[in-house]
A and B are shown apart, each in its own frame.
Chain A
Amino acid sequence: MADYPSLFIYLCLVAAIVAVIVAISGLLSPSDPSPAKGRPYECGVSEPVNVEHRWPVRFALVAMLFLVFDVEALFFYPWAVLVRELRWTGIAAIASFFAVLGAGYIYARSRGALRWR
């Protein structure tokens, strides 16, 4: 079936090339650690900024809703790939899945959760 010996040689080559590159880069690169390099990149303003003001909770709401519906969309992909093999039972299953989440969407919409202001 698969050509395992070739794959093994290929993987060894990959490991060797990566090792050579990393070794050369380790030899060539100057090392000068400093506290600034350890700090996260925040466009040059690494010291903590006062964030006492409140954020609207709308952001959290949108993030939660996005997460739910994005994962739902994710589940459509495997079904879509196998839609022919799964036949009508597959369509029924995905339709019920869609109906459940659709009910959630209609509820969120009707409660104004998706309205920004």
Chain B
Amino acid sequence: MVPQGGHVRDASPGFLLGKLADWSREKSLWPATFGLACCAIEMMAASAASYDIARFGSEVFRGSPRQADLLIVSGRVSQKMAPVLREIYDQMPEPKWVISMGDCASCGGVFNNYALVQGVDKLVPVDVYVPGCPPRPEALIDGILKLKADIGKGLR
């Protein structure tokens, strides 16, 4: 099941303004709080003092999806949670990106059963998959940096 549409990009506002937009979106990528399970702990560790994604621009985890541009799906998505995830994703304004953090979000992980959605790419379009169970904070930061590099180049 491939979600429709993918992400919507802006209709080109001109070269310089586009470059400015890409640069500012890359440097100030605000995640929405979507910690679901164990991966959320590693995401919290990544945003805490030791690993600190605030130095990369993700200063605040926005509580409301209306104010966020990155959805880090960290953890298992159960069948009951699936429509909630889709709704939160839909309520984020464009431009928005999705990082699927951890094995459960990427492919169902160790839980190949009736209860979990086998990979959130069945629900939302994913930009970066970060494997791991859970991925270390450095791995998540690596994924975020790869996404930021692509955003800065205007590829996403």
Q: What 1/0 flags go to B5-35 for Cβ under 8 Å of A?
A: 0001111011001101100000000000000
A46 on interface, CB distance cutoff 8 Å: yes
> Contact flags (1/0) for B72-85 with A, using CB distance below 8 Å?
00000000000111
A36 and B11 in contact, given A41-B64, A43-B84, A45-B84 (Cβ under 8 angstroms): no
Partner of B84 from the list A24, A32, A44 (CB cut-off 8 Å) is A44
**Interface positions of A (Cβ within 8 A of B):** 24, 27-32, 34, 36-37, 39, 41, 43-46
B145 interface residue (CB < 8 Å to A): no
Asked if B17 and A39 make an inter-chain contact with CB atoms under 8 angstroms apart, the answer reads no
Residues of B within 8 A of A46 (CB): 87
B65 contacts the other chain (Cβ, under 8 Å)? yes
B91 at the A/B interface (Cβ < 8 Å)? yes
How many B residues, CB 8 Å from partner?
23
User: Chain A residues with Cβ under 8 A from B9's Cβ?
Assistant: 30
Where chain B touches its partner, the secondary structure class is helix
The minimal Cβ–Cβ distance linking A34 to chain B, given in whole angstroms, is 6
Asked whether, in the complex, the Cβ of A41 is within 8 Å of the Cβ of B66, the reply is yes
In whole angstroms, how far apart are the Cα atoms of A8 and B83 in the complex? Answer: 52
5 A-B contacts (beta carbon < 8 Å): A28-B18, A29-B10, A30-B10, A41-B64, A43-B88
Cβ-defined contact, B85 with A28, below 8 A: no
Q: A36 with B17: in contact, given A28-B10, A30-B11, A41-B65 (CB under 8 Å)?
A: no
Listed in ascending order, the chain B residues whose CB lies under 8 Å from chain A are 8-11, 13-14, 17-18, 20-21, 64-66, 83-85, 87-88, 90-91, 93-95
List residues of chain A with CB within 8 A of the CB of B65. 41
- Cβ B85 vs Cβ A27 within 8 A: no
Assembled-state Cα–Cα distance A8/B72 (Å):
46
CA distance A27 to B20 in the complex (A): 12
* Chain B: CB-nearest residue to A26: B13
With the chains together, A29 CA to B9 CA distance in Å? Answer: 9
Q: Are A29 and B91 in contact (CB under 8 A)?
A: no
